[in-house]
Amino acid sequence: MWISKEHQYRLHVEDRAGYLYALIQADEDSFELSLAAVTELAAICRVRKTVRLLVEHDIPSNLSAYEVYTIATQLPLLFQGVEVGFVVHHSSIPENPKFLEDVARNRGGKGRLFASARDAEEWLRSRP
């Protein structure tokens, strides 16, 4: 498990059959925290040459639409060549996770949003 010294989040990463699993947790979300967490996770994926990733974002989130948009535009670059199953557990704005998915996919991202980790795992395992 990695614990960032700059930002107060916990990043748990483990190898699972056919994909890399990541759990991002914190007590409170911010633009800087979320961007730092996904940037760190992307670096881990590059080092491990990950092609499939399941991410659970378990942070109470109240990011603005602009902050979500800004992060979403970075995801295809950060996770280039990685298929990502993404699960957002807490969002004070219910539309934000879908907005994140739409923006990232419109920019070439290969990820999808799921309601549960089980659904994301099934999708990742079905990929060729």
| Whether the predicted pLDDT of 1 surpasses 60 | no
Q: Which residue blocks in 1-51 are alpha helix, DSSP H?
A: 31-48
Q: Decide which of 1 and 33 is more confident.
A: 33
| Whether the predicted pLDDT of 5 surpasses 80 | no
Q: What is the residue type of 21? A: Y
The closest of 80, 89, 90 to 110, measured between CA atoms, is 80
Q: What is the dihedral of CA 33, 29, 97, 75, to 10 degrees?
A: 0
Task: Write down all domains in the chain, each with its CATH number in brackets.
Answer: 2-126 (3.30.750.24)
User: What letter would DSSP give residue 27?
Assistant: S
Give me the DSSP letters along 63-115. Answer: --HHHHHHHHHHHHHHTTT-EEEEEE--BSSTTHHHHHHHHHHHTT--EEEES
Residues 41-95 have pLDDT tens digits of 999 999 999 999 999 999 988 888 899 899 999 999 999 999 999 998 876 556 6
| Whether the predicted pLDDT of 33 surpasses 80 | yes
Question: What angle do the packed helices 65-78 and 31-48 form, to 10 degrees?
Answer: 10
Residues 88-122 have pLDDT tens digits of 887 655 666 788 888 898 888 899 989 899 999 99
| Whether the predicted pLDDT of 12 surpasses 60 | yes
pTM of the model: 0.87
